[in-house]
Amino acid sequence: MLKIRNMRYCTAVIMAFFPFLAVHAQNSLQGEWMVELSGEGPPIIGMLSLQESGDGWVGHIEGGPVTVETESDAIEILVDSRDLAGFVFNRRLTGDYDDASMSGSFTIEGATEDPEPGGAWTAVRKAPTVPRQPPAPVDLGGMWTPAPGIDFRKYSMDLTESAKEWHAGYVMHYDQPNVRCVSAGIVAMVAWGAYPFEIVTSKDRLTYLYEVDSEVRRVFLNEKRPPDYYPPSPMGFSNGYWDGSNLVVDTQLLEGNVRDFRGEPVSEGARMHERYSLSEDGSTLSAVIKLIDPANYNVEPTRRRQWVRNPATEIYPYECDPDSFYRQMYEQGKMDMYFERADRREMN
Amino acid sequence: MTSRLAIFATAVFLMLFQHSATGHHSFAVEFTVEETAVIEGVVAEVWFKNPHVRYYIDVTNAAGEKDRWDTRGSSPSLLVRRGWTKETISVGDTVIIKGHLGRDDKRLLSIIGIDLADGTKLGAHY
């Protein structure tokens, strides 16, 4: 500790006499970092990007804005997140940094159903992107059930002005598509944590069978193009390829929808990019999921998910009846209000 | 001790019912985490369908009149995996339900646990 204090004292003295060095020190944060939180549960991982601005640092984690403060070699990052029940809380990361790494501890602030005890965090520079590797397919076939952890569950995203305007009046329990049994689409579904899905492998195609909403998704591995006049839909049209043993999936022809429970819009014309990797023992499937939608997001939102192979599970039937939703509207005298909010259901 | 029990109950609740938050829409929008209530009444209607199971419960109030409560659970496909089926609770059954209260003073509960007349305990005790 004494050593660190001495180091900070020396740094302060040097900065006082050679202020141009301070700029150099600030610049050392610029770039992309992989942050890992470790507490009692599974680790939580996210990408932190930092850009210098006139009066400090502009930071994003997983595409969502974060507050970043630095003083000498100390850093504090405030990240809003939400728990499984939808409650919003903050993770406050404090620690030290140098050119190559950051580390410290984090605490939780705010109401949450499932409070984390806090813990330690580290960050290292994001590894450079490696060139695409020759295909080395692995067997992703089978039943997969969601695993906890890994995702930051970043709450706020960097919305464009028009997206902010649209989202301002969103009320989840009236406007969320799936409360009235309309599919929330693959962008939301792929990150949900409750239901299993099955991957069926066949020549030039992977077929994903999702329990929730009984949705089906085909991932074409043969560069098949969408047929003429193929309409935008909740599941879109997916092409995949193998980058080494990683499966990369690009989805287009998504219809307007919402990204998650918060109801941030997904525009028609948005794309989704997924990168799946299988653990060496074949038991865990991980994915990094990016939404590419410049009409609504200044920075691409990113989610991370993991699933465990579970041959013992089954895909159960999933039928949905919206009657209870409309009945509630009727009993609360809100049917007029519901129909007057038709624009909440248009996300083009 | 009380807080430990509360944390335990919350953890179990999340394990059993988190899908109502993660699967469909946010629990936080309609229900309060801080306020819970216990009601005793007779099942007037069973809605064992997606997106959420609902039991409509008639509760006799202090004036002797019946208030109808809307109580909500998880999705059927997640409940049936644990043996909780459409037949588990029927119209006419007397039940005691503990749940998180709906916002805006609605007669709305997000189910934490249900005690049946035969002593069976579902939900947080399940």
Q: Which residues of chain A make contact with B34, given a CB cutoff of 8 A?
A: 111
User: Three-class SS of residue A291?
Assistant: strand
User: Three-class SS of residue A102?
Assistant: strand
For residue B67, what pLDDT band results from cuts at 50, 70 and 90? Answer: very high
**Token couple for B42:** 């007779």
Identity of the residue numbered A34: M
Is B92 within a domain?
yes
Report pLDDT digits (tens) over A269-285.
999 999 999 999 999 99
User: Does the reported pTM lie above 0.95?
Assistant: no
Do A321 and B33 count as a contact with CB atoms less than 8 A apart?
Answer: no
**Domain range spanning residue B45?**
25-123
pLDDT surpassing 60 at residue A155: yes
Do A111 and B33 count as a contact with CB atoms less than 8 A apart?
Answer: yes
Is B42 within a domain?
yes
**Token couple for A73:** 């070699």
Q: Which residues of chain A make contact with B19, given a CB cutoff of 8 A?
A: 194-195
CATH number, residue B40: 2.40.50.140
pLDDT surpassing 90 at residue A43: yes
- Calculate mean pLDDT across residues A58-68: 98
- Residues 113-172 on A with a CB inside 8 Å of B are 113-114, 171-172
Is B18 within a domain?
no
Is B1 within a domain?
no
Is B3 within a domain?
no
Optimal mutation site among A316, A329, A331, A344, interface B, most CBs of chain B within 10 A: A316
- Measured in whole angstroms, how far is the alpha carbon of residue B118 from the centre of its chain? 18
Q: Which residues of chain B make contact with A172, given a CB cutoff of 8 A?
A: 25-26, 29
Q: Would you state the pLDDT for residue B36?
A: 87
Q: Would you state the pLDDT for residue B92?
A: 98
Residue of A nearest to B8 (CA): A114
Do A316 and B77 count as a contact with CB atoms less than 8 A apart?
Answer: yes
For residue A9, what pLDDT band results from cuts at 50, 70 and 90? Answer: low
Q: How far apart are the first and last CA of chain A?
A: 56
Range A338-342 contact pairs with CB under 8 angstroms and sequence separation of 24 or more? A338/A174, A341/A169, A341/A171, A341/A174, A341/A175
pLDDT surpassing 80 at residue B18: no
More confident residue, B60 or B29: B60
Q: Which residues of chain A make contact with B77, given a CB cutoff of 8 A?
A: 195, 211, 316-318
For residue A27, what pLDDT band results from cuts at 50, 70 and 90? Answer: low
Q: Name the residue among B22, B80, B106 with its Cβ closest to that of A194.
A: B22
Looking at chain A, the whole-number percentage of residues with pLDDT higher than 90 is 70
pLDDT surpassing 70 at residue A25: no
How far is it, in rounded angstroms, from Cα A331 to Cα A36? 47
- Calculate mean pLDDT across residues A121-145: 96
* DSSP calls for A145-182: EE---EE--B----B-HHHHHHHTT--HHHH-GGGGT-
Is B5 within a domain?
no
Lowest-pLDDT range of A104-108, A263-267, B24-28: B24-28
Q: Would you state the pLDDT for residue B26?
A: 60
What average pLDDT does the structure give for chain A?
89
How many residues can be counted in chain A? 348
Is B99 within a domain?
yes
Q: Contact A304/A288 with Cβ under 8 angstroms?
A: yes
Tell me whether strands B31-47 and A74-82 are parallel, antiparallel or unpaired.
unpaired
Total domains in the fold of chain B: 1
Lowest-pLDDT range of A62-76, A78-92, A108-122, B6-20: B6-20
How far is it, in rounded angstroms, from Cα A341 to Cα A12? 57
Do B23 and A171 count as a contact with CB atoms less than 8 A apart?
Answer: no
pLDDT surpassing 70 at residue A1: no
**Token couple for A5:** 């204090």
- Calculate mean pLDDT across residues A160-174: 90
Q: Which residues of chain B make contact with A212, given a CB cutoff of 8 A?
A: 23
Optimal mutation site among B25, B72, B74, B110, interface A, most CBs of chain A within 10 A: B25
How far is it, in rounded angstroms, from Cα B75 to Cα B85? 11
- What is the number of other CB atoms lying within 10 angstroms of the CB of residue A281? 7
Alpha-carbon Rg of chain A, whole angstroms? 22
- Per residue, what are the HEC states of A50-87? EEEECCEEEEEECCEEEEEEEECCEEEEEEEEECCCCC
| Angle value at C-alpha B6, between A156 and B59, nearest 5 degrees | 95
* DSSP calls for B71-103: EE---HHHHHTTT--TTSS-TT-EEEEEEEEES
For residue A261, what pLDDT band results from cuts at 50, 70 and 90? Answer: confident
Q: Would you state the pLDDT for residue B104?
A: 75
- Calculate mean pLDDT across residues A14-18: 50
Q: Would you state the pLDDT for residue B89?
A: 96
Range B102-108 contact pairs with CB under 8 angstroms and sequence separation of 24 or more? B102/B30, B102/B31, B102/B32, B102/B70, B103/B29, B103/B30, B103/B31, B103/B32, B106/A332, B106/B70, B107/B67, B107/B68, B107/B69, B107/B70, B108/B30, B108/B31, B108/B69, B108/B70, B108/B71, B108/B72
User: Three-class SS of residue B24?
Assistant: helix
